[in-house]
Amino acid sequence: MYQTAYSNRMKTYQLPRDFLNSSCNEPEGMAVISYEADIASRNARINLQQNLFSFLIEGEKGVHYAGTHIKIQSQQFLLLSAGNCLMSEKIPAEGGKYRSILFFFDNKALTSFFTRYSYVLSNTDTSQSDEPVLVFDKDDFLANYIESLRSMLGKTISARMQQIKLDELMLYLSEHYPGQIQRLSAMNIASDDLLIRQAVTAHIDQQVTVEELAFLCNMSRSTFKRRFARIYGTSPNKWMLEKRMQKAATLLRQSACKVSDVYVALGYENLSSFIQSFKQVYGVTPKQYQRIN
């Protein structure tokens, strides 16, 4: 857990990395941060690396995204999903400050919650939109919860205790805002979908296994295959093979390109395995393909 202050400048903030003074591109785990400001900040550009509960203590907060503007006051708080670029404004209370407590948590922690408490999604409304900002009203329980977070600021808190605090909040919200939690689950799946797309696209030119792709996406092999099939309508091995051979065919249609150059470019260790793969997709050898194209 961390406590920090932050100055407002005209740039894009990478959160929570910039709060934590971290050199890591993608901070892991969770962090609770206290934020205070004496002057208003408008149109600050935010790139969220993690999911964020923003608990407003004093002042007003606004968020702009995709042409929409949301403004909250101290009796409300926000949940913003990871991977979004937002414009933020912070307005101190009259004669006072802008104060908030920020609870960052990564998708791994969120996935862990939904895996262990899958029943919270059983009776929720699946027709909700996928806007990246959710608004909640504070009540007595949530006010006390926020105070419990404040008591942790500046202390070293174990990863297990951080997960317990996230679970506590999520379980309470799932009872009082079931539709909102369904939307959060959908946003988490969408984030995983993007991760899968990025991983497979980046490794088309490499001999990579399903196990290795699943590892890169921080998923089990079975979860990766299931979500991959939902996205692409086929298995990872078949999709990767077809995409690689499509690229091979494009290269082979270039008159100056040799078959030996193509299999090396696609990461094959030997020519015979490349020929076998190409024939599996196109029904002819690479040289035969060149002659008819």
Return the beta strands (E) in 195-275 as ranges. Answer: none
The pLDDT, as a whole number, for residue 1 is 46
Average pLDDT, the chain: 83
What would the mean pLDDT of 6-29 be, rounded to a whole number? 66
Are 87 and 45 in contact, with CB atoms under 8 Å apart? Answer: yes
Using the predicted structure, report yes or no on whether residue 260 has a pLDDT greater than 90: no
Q: What tens digit of pLDDT does each residue of 30-75 get? A: 999 999 998 888 778 888 888 999 999 999 999 887 667 889 988 9
The pLDDT, as a whole number, for residue 101 is 95
Strand partners for 108: none
Three state DSSP letters for 192-203: HHHHHHHHHHHC
Q: Look up residue 33 and give its amino acid.
A: I
What is the pLDDT confidence band of residue 5, given thresholds at 50, 70 and 90? very low
The pLDDT, as a whole number, for residue 6 is 41
What is the pLDDT confidence band of residue 2, given thresholds at 50, 70 and 90? very low
Q: Which residue has the higher pLDDT, 95 or 52?
A: 52
Long-range contacts of 38-41 (CB under 8 A, 24+ apart): 38/92, 38/97, 38/98, 39/8, 39/92, 40/89, 40/90, 40/91, 40/92, 40/98, 41/8, 41/88, 41/89, 41/90, 41/98
Using the predicted structure, report yes or no on whether residue 193 has a pLDDT greater than 80: no
pTM over 0.85: no
- How many other CB atoms are there within 10 angstroms of residue 169's CB atom? 23
What would the mean pLDDT of 228-257 be, rounded to a whole number? 89
Residue 57 structure tokens: 């203590």
Domains in the chain (CATH in brackets) are 12-185 (2.60.120.810), 204-293 (1.10.10.60)
Coil vs helix vs strand at 121: helix
Q: Which burial class, exposed, middle or buried, applies to 222 when counting CB atoms under 10 A from its CB (0-12, 13-18, 19+)?
A: exposed
Give the Å distances, CA to CA, from 271 to 52, 145, 204, 262, 264. 50, 63, 17, 9, 8
CA distance 90 to 38: 10
Using the predicted structure, report yes or no on whether residue 3 has a pLDDT greater than 90: no
